[in-house]
Amino acid sequence: MRMQQTLEDFESALAEETALDRQMAEAQVREAVVRSRRRHIEQQTRRGTLRFVLLLLLLLATAVGVTVAMFQTLYIVMG
């Protein structure tokens, strides 16, 4: 009788530990998914900011180039 009780205790403890391990594994997977999504969003934000800055610089360079070309043309025509 004592052996059966010990065996039953062992089996119930094993079942509890297995359930805990499964829950921990699922929690780790959820955390990994959240981290991956957060990283992806951060990368998109960084790329978007970089593209915006490059666009502004390109527009500024275009405006400067057009202004310089306009005044040179005006100098040639008037000169």
pTM passes above 0.75: no
Rg (CA), the chain: 34
Q: Where do the structural domains in the chain lie, given as residue ranges?
A: 1-79
Average pLDDT over residues 8-16: 90
Amino acid at 50: L
Burial class (CB in 10 A: 0-12, 13-18, 19+), 18: exposed
Q: What is the pLDDT of residues 21-73, one digit of tens each?
A: 999 999 999 999 999 999 999 999 999 999 999 999 999 999 999 999 999 99
Say how many C-beta atoms besides its own lie within 10 A of residue 59's C-beta: 10
- Tally of CA atoms within 13 A in the half-sphere of 61 that contains its CB: 6
